[in-house]
Amino acid sequence: MSLPPINTQMESRQWIVQLAVIAYLPISKLRDVLPDLTVYLAAIGILAILSAWLLNFPLKFTFGPRQKIWISYCFFLLALGALALLVSGTPTTTVLGSMIIIVATILAGLAIQAARFSREKALETALYSVACLVIASTALFFVGIEPANSWSKNLNYSSSLRAIGLFVDRGSMPLTGGGTSHSAASAVVLAGMITLRKFNTFGIVAIGCAIWGLLVGDGRAAMAACLGAILFIEVARGRFYRFAFVIVPAGYFIFSIATWILVNSPIAQLVGRANVAADIETGNSRTLLWGRAFEYLAENPTALFTGHGLFGHQTAGIIADNRFMIGFHGTDKALTMHSTSVQALVDGGVLGLAFLTLILFLACREVEKFRSSRAMLCAAALMTCMMVNGIFDVWMTPYFDEGFYLFGLVTMALIVRWPAGFSFKVAKKRPPMATPSQPQGVGFDGRPVS
């Protein structure tokens, strides 16, 4: 990994901040193979970022409108977490786990701002954080380490690898959960590294691990998102990107309506992984979940505006009514609505969905403004991957550590402008004013000075 040289004190501080921010995900997610150390690993990751931030404590910045929008969204999610602790039937440890990643994202964003990263450096750091997680997960897999807990049952073998004679369980990847989660992480790494032209040793290793991750995770949405992001960025070069934000709020409406109309078509089979299209319940049942969510919100208009806090689907009983999903995963406690927009609506109501849409709009508009930059094309690729995955899963929410961490850091780098808002706490001493040179021992009046 190419990191900046340590030539000055500021560069040294930036190097430390970058290392702490990148290391957080691999350290904290070691809980997947060391569950007894979950609390300690989370504390180590948080303290590393906090310490890196405090190194730049003499620097302060003023919160402008854009900074306020970004950090307000993070605190809004923390408020939803606090609400869930009061009313949700979800285990407290599960809710606290989601709140911890929000806190880590806030600290990482503030540390990056305090260290005065350039926008390009901030985007690169966000990409490297997920890349290191994918590399670590792949390395642990190949040395034979398995996750301590299976995140779901009956995932079966990867159909992509099975086609070439390899039989690998989709849920066998440690740290990232396997399946759609590992596929989504691999997709953003592959798209980001290619558009950023990172073909050094670290980049090649990351690309190789990402390709393996897409195949073993077998996530069709992630594969489509990765390919679409690369093609769109290379062809369109970021033009019209300000309209890309509608992918998340509108995408799931279009897709769910289409599959409902064409329920007996091959499209419905593809969506639900169903052998019989009419019996779409034999698949992953996303459309059933979305339909049940809209039914619930129509019957409970108050919930449409207020939401239920994190894991609102559990509080509302939306997941509990879907017996197939419970049978497929074995529990209904930690499931999601399999759509970022639906999840935002159930958790935070109309305000939650509007907040998310505003963040996406500001980020996408900023990409189009500066689309001539290679780093901004990389940001467009990352945003595209996250938004397409957001149609079919909750990638940009605190339910996925790596998804929300990347989403938070990328949007922070895009919508928050700095270093214009920075200032030093300690005023610099002004140099003494220059005086006209005079012969030594002679005053301004020409008389000798004693």
Of 14-18, 158-162, 243-247, give the range with the top mean pLDDT.
14-18
Q: Which of 1, 4, 31, 30 is nearest to 17 (CA)?
A: 4
Is it the case that residue 410 has pLDDT exceeding 80? yes
382-388: average pLDDT: 87
* CA-based nearest residue to 142, from 181, 174, 180, 109: 174
pLDDT of the residue at 423: 41
Q: In angstroms, rounded to a whole number, what is the distance separating the alpha carbons of residues 416 and 29? A: 28
Q: Residue 296: pLDDT band by 50, 70, 90 thresholds?
A: confident
Selection from 261, 255, 263, 246 nearest residue 290 by Cα: 255
What is residue 424's three-state secondary structure?
strand
Question: What is the rounded average pLDDT of the residues 352-371?
Answer: 84
Predicted confidence at residue 274, as pLDDT, reads: 46
- Residue 208 CA to residue 81 CA, distance in Å, equals 37
Average pLDDT of the segment spanning 51-62 = 67
In whole angstroms, give the CA distance from residue 186 to residue 209.
Answer: 8
Question: Is 243 or 306 the better-scoring residue by pLDDT?
Answer: 306
pLDDT band at 445 (very low <50, low <70, confident <90, very high): very low
How far does the chain reach from its first CA to its final CA, in angstroms?
Answer: 66
DSSP assignment string, 70-88: HHHHHHHHHHHHHHHHHH-
Residue 382 has pLDDT above 80, yes or no: yes
Q: What is the mean pLDDT of residues 123-133?
A: 93
SS3 content of the chain, % helix, strand, coil (to 5): 65, 0, 30
Residue 422: what pLDDT? 43
Which one is predicted more confidently, 406 or 253? 406
Residue 159 has a pLDDT of 64
Cα–Cα distance measured from residue 387 to residue 403, given in angstroms and rounded to the nearest whole number:
11
The residue count of the chain comes to 450
| C-alpha span between 42 and 96 (Å, rounded) | 11
Least confident interval from 34-48, 190-204, 270-284: 270-284
Q: What is the CA radius of gyration of the chain?
A: 25
At 54 the pLDDT is 81
Q: Evaluate if residue 234 carries a pLDDT over 80.
A: no
**Which range, of 79-83, 329-333, 425-429, averages the lowest pLDDT?**
425-429
> What is the reported pLDDT for 237?
67
H-state helical runs in 167-285? 179-195, 201-217, 220-236, 247-261, 266-272
Specify the pLDDT at position 313. 82
Q: Residue 282: its pLDDT value, please?
A: 40
DSSP 63: -
Between 436 and 212, residue with greater pLDDT:
212
Strand runs labelled E in 319-437: 422-424
What is the mean pLDDT of the segment spanning 313-336? 62
Q: How many CB atoms lie within 10 A of CB 175?
A: 28
**Phi, psi angle pair for 61, to nearest 5°:** -140, 155
Give the model's pLDDT for residue 238: 61
For 422, list phi and psi in degrees, rounded to 5.
Answer: -90, 155
Q: Token pair 């340590």 is at which residue?
A: 6
Query: For the chain, what are the domain ranges?
Result: 9-424
pLDDT interval class at 220 (50, 70, 90) = confident
Q: Which residues pair with 61 in a beta bridge?
A: 422
Cβ atoms of 228 and 244 within 8 Å: the answer is: no
CA distances from 92 to 38, 83, 98, 345 (A): 14, 11, 10, 22
What was the pLDDT predicted at 429? 45
Instruction: Please give the pLDDT value at position 277.
Output: 38
Render pLDDT for 32-46 as a digit per residue (tens, 0 to 9): 888 888 888 889 989
Which has more pLDDT, 112 or 154? 112
Classify 146 in phi/psi space as left (phi over 0), alpha (psi -120 to 50) or beta: beta
Give the mean pLDDT of 316-341.
Answer: 64
How buried is 308 (Cβ within 10 angstroms: 0-12 exposed, 13-18 middle, 19+ buried)?
buried
Once rounded to an integer, what is the mean pLDDT over residues 243-250? 68
